[in-house]
Amino acid sequence: MPLDDPIPPEGGKPGDEPPPAADGPPRTPDDDLDWRRRAVEAETAADELRAALGQAQRQLAQAHDALDACETRRAIDAALFETDALDLETARLMTEAAVARMPQPDVAGAVEELRRDKPFLFRAASVTGAPAALSARADAAPGADLSGALEEAAVTGDRAALLRYLRLKRRF
C-alpha cells in the first residue's frame, strides 16, 4: 500500500463509499411541513393549557374568598353566641357590615361596638345566685318542689304537670 493512497473507512475496502452521516437521511419538504404542523399543534396546546391554568387560578381565588367569608361568619356567630345575642340574624348582619368596613377585620371589636350601640339586641347581664324577691316560689325548697312535681306528674298523667317536672329537672 503506497503512502499516497487514502485511508480506507473502518471495516471497508479502499474505494467504498463512506457511510451516511449520523444525522440521518436528508430532509425533504414534506418533513419540514410535518415539523411546522407539529409546532403549530404544540403552540395551540400550550395556549389551551394557559387558558385552563388561568381558569383554575380564578376558581382557586373564588374558593379562597368563599372560605374566608365562611370563617368570618363562623367567628361572628361564635362571638355573638358568647355575648348572648337575642336576635342572632340581625346582630350577624350588623356585625358583618361593621367588619366589612374595617381595614383590619376585628370580629370581637365589632361585636363589642354593636353591644354598646345596640344593647337591645343582647340579653342583659343577669345576677346569678339568689332568686328574685317577687318570684312566686322564692321560699320553697328546690328538692321538695322537684319531688312534688314528679309525684304529681306520675299520679295525674297530666301533660302540663309532666312539662313542669321536666323544666324543674333541667335546672338541677
Confidence of residue 95 (pLDDT cuts 50, 70, 90): very high
pLDDT tens digits, 54-90: 999 999 999 999 999 999 999 999 999 999 888 889 9
pLDDT at res. 139: 47
Confidence of residue 160 (pLDDT cuts 50, 70, 90): confident
Of the candidates 115, 109, 111, 78, the one whose C-alpha atom is nearest the C-alpha of residue 95 is 111
pLDDT at res. 9: 56
The C-alpha cell of 156 is what?
295525674
pLDDT at res. 25: 64
pLDDT at res. 151: 84
Report CA Rg, the chain: 43
pLDDT at res. 48: 96
Q: Is the pLDDT of residue 11 over 90?
A: no
Q: Is 21 helix (H, G, I), strand (E, B) or coil?
A: coil
Distance CA 147, CA 129 (A): 22
Question: CA torsion angle for 149, 150, 156, 161 (degrees, to 10)?
Answer: 50
Query: pTM for this structure?
Result: 0.48
pLDDT at res. 141: 53
Q: Is the pLDDT of residue 19 over 60?
A: no
pLDDT greater at residue 82 or residue 4: 82
Report phi then psi at 85, rounded to 5: -70, 135
Distance CA 146, CA 167 (A): 9
